Amino acid sequence: MSIELLRKIKDAEKSYQQKLKQAEQEKKSSINEAEKKAILKIREAEIKVKEEASKITEAVKAKAEQNYNELLNQFEKKQMKLKEKAKKVEKEAIELIVTQIFG
């Protein structure tokens, strides 16, 4: 009876060792799968962030270009007004000089 009992204990121990190995393998497999999923999610998030950053950059560039063009247009209008004023003042100055000389 004791030999039979020892055999049963040994078989139970062997079964326990096999279940333990299987549990360890399942644990490693689950960890590996979780790591793969996490890496994929991180990559997806990085791609989304890059896309959003690109959209924001493009929007900022477009707004800057628009602002630049508006400022350039304003500058050109002011420049035209100043040129017209300068021509008027020049004409008045010439008239004044001519009247003083030929008076």
In a domain, 90, yes or no: no
pLDDT digits (tens, 9 = 90+) for 45-60: 999 999 999 999 999 9
Q: 97 lies in a domain?
A: no
- What's 1's DSSP letter? -
CA distance 83 to 75: 12
Let me know if residue 38 belongs to a domain: yes
Q: Is residue 16 part of a domain?
A: yes
Range of the domain at 44: 1-78
Spatial distance between the Cα atoms of 3 and 87, rounded to a whole number of angstroms: 124
Would you say the pTM of this structure is higher than 0.75? Answer: no
User: What tens digit of pLDDT does each residue of 2-20 get?
Assistant: 888 889 889 899 999 999 9
Q: For residue 94, is it within any domain?
A: no
Is 20 part of any domain?
A: yes
| Phi, psi angles (nearest 5°) of residue 43 | -60, -45
The Cβ-side half-sphere exposure at 69, using a 13 Å CA radius, reads: 6
Q: Is residue 68 part of a domain?
A: yes
Whether residue 92 is contained in a domain is answered as no
Report the alpha-carbon distance of residue 61 to residue 69 in Å, rounded.
Answer: 12
Q: How many domains does the chain have?
A: 1
